[in-house]
Amino acid sequence: MYPRANTLGIIVKGNYLLLEEQKGKHSKGVGFYYRPIGGTIELGERSNQTLVREFSEELGVEIIVRRYISCIENIFKIDKSVGHEITQIYFVDFKDRKLYQKEHFTVTEGNKITRAKWVSKEEIFSGEKLLYPQELIELLKQQI
């Protein structure tokens, strides 16, 4: 297994972040956890282009990549498997401002269907809701 290069887009609406809600095994056990929208960078594709493609494929929406934030190296373990991601992080906005009024979005990735919803920063910063990659929490505290 090799490190995976991926990218995540942070959309902020007031005191809320748009995050995909997933349920299953994660590094702290089993249950719900949250992650920004994004995905694997394809060969020859820039990370900001990946975000535009991923938001289109997974949510069916257009975004504007606003600003690069940072890169996070995320090494994690689920059961006995080690994962390793090199993650580029950006602030992004919906192109269509009306999308900020939606309560949740259907996220389609191949055969897997989940949803993205607005989660308060307090729930994430307090640890009430689990955010991955975990290094993103401190980074967001400094940025927003």
User: 10: how many CB neighbours lie within 10 A of its CB?
Assistant: 22
Using DSSP, state whether 91 is helix, strand or coil: strand
- CATH classification of the domain holding 59: 3.90.79.10
Question: What's the one-letter identity of residue 101?
Answer: Q
Overall domain count for the chain: 1
Where residue 40 falls among pLDDT bands split at 50, 70, 90?
A: very high
Where residue 64 falls among pLDDT bands split at 50, 70, 90?
A: very high
Give yes or no for residue 96 having a pLDDT over 90.
yes
Mean of pLDDT values over 123-141: 94
Give yes or no for residue 70 having a pLDDT over 90.
yes
Q: Is 1 or 118 the better-scoring residue by pLDDT?
A: 118
Mean of pLDDT values over 18-31: 85
Give yes or no for residue 50 having a pLDDT over 80.
yes
Give dist(CA 106, CA 63) in Å, integer.
Answer: 16
Q: What is the CA radius of gyration of the chain?
A: 14
Where residue 79 falls among pLDDT bands split at 50, 70, 90?
A: confident
Its pTM stands at 0.93
Give yes or no for residue 37 having a pLDDT over 90.
yes
Range of the domain at 124: 4-143
Give dist(CA 134, CA 74) in Å, integer.
Answer: 8
